[in-house]
Chains A and B, each alone.
Chain A
């Protein structure tokens, strides 16, 4: 039992997966979407109808934020982060790969795969540049990808999503029959 837990904790696949900011944010937001409504439902000081309303609203808010982050914010950042980095920093890693997605595919490859990929990039180059594996700073490339992901998640989850989620949540709540105004009117 202890051995199985130790193997799970030091699992390289889990390590690689959780190194990605997108995985971290997705997992954490999903847990928040379960945890926060759960604690609202457990609160005995609130009446049942308000509990139902608040927990559904919190769940929808977290899921809408995650949806906006994954669908709207991240694709844009993945597309443009390397283009911006190329202008600011003259490193080979930004010249060799067009987008962060291309770099991440390369980063996940084994040694032979990486050499083959660089060979492929070099043959397709029109200029006389040649990229050597030792000049590709993978730590910098990965760092730029993750830092832009963190910036994107802050912008997406803390600024864009709260504004965008309000017009989305109320129609869904209405559709589910949990509209607060409607409930108040019925009570009156």
Chain B
């Protein structure tokens, strides 16, 4: 079979029944290749953001392709309820369309929300953690109560344990701005 006759057969097949999944799967495949490619070509974004966005976009389309096919095929099975062959043919096509629409509206965005973010976060977790540790400014904790030290409960005069207390708690910086200033 030559290339020309193969294309002709494909055209005839689409002409007989244009399955709604064909177009959406073709678009999802192309988007899965080109969207991450365009993102990686963006010079304004940082390399880390580009990698993260490209991975998310690619994964979204990787999830979308089998879901479109699966939802379309499963919905089309409902046409078995129709006994009239003409009606069953129309019902099969219409149900496939409904299945693809359901996939686009609910199933794919829902699955992406559940799967893509945790997956990308898992991959970029280490970097993100390091980044937040470095970037976040130190916060002054004014709400928590101070930890009570054991030596405060038992007076030093009773324990006689002076050497430990002196090393741990006396800080010279406490005395730098106190007392009478001379000169």
Task: Write the residues of chain A forming the contact surface with B, with a CB cutoff of 8 angstroms.
Answer: 6, 9-12, 14-15, 18-21, 24-25, 27-28, 31-32, 34-36, 38-39, 42-43, 45, 88-89, 137-144, 146-147, 149-150, 153-154, 157-159, 162-163
Contact = CB atoms under 8 A, between A and B. Distances in A.
B80 interface: no
Interface size class of B (residues with CB under 8 A): 35 or more
Nearest to A151: B26
A168 to B, nearest CB: 15
From A38, A45, A158, A162, residue with most partner B Cβ within 10 Å: A158
A158 B104 contact: no
A24 B24 contact: yes
A45 B118 CA distance: 11
B14 A18 contact: no
Given A14-B94, A15-B93, A19-B93, A140 B101 contact: no
Binding site secondary structure of chain A: helix
Given A143-B12, A147-B11, A35 B18 contact: no
Given A12-B90, A15-B90, A143-B12, A154 B27 contact: yes
Contacts of A9: 78, 90-91, 94-95, 98
Contacts of B24: 24-25, 28
Interface in B2-59: 4, 8, 10-18, 20, 22-24, 26-27, 30-31, 33-35, 38
Interface of B: 4, 8, 10-18, 20, 22-24, 26-27, 30-31, 33-35, 38, 78, 81-82, 87-88, 90-91, 93-95, 97-98, 100-101, 104-106, 108-110, 112-113, 117
B18 A28 contact: no
Binding site secondary structure of chain B: helix
Contacts of B13: 143
B34 A25 contact: no
From B38, B108, B109, residue with most partner A Cβ within 10 Å: B109
Contacts of B106: 35
Contacts of A20: 18
B117 to A, nearest CB: 8
A154 B31 CA distance: 8
A157 B30 CA distance: 9
B35 A158 contact: yes
Contacts of A12: 90
B18 A19 contact: yes
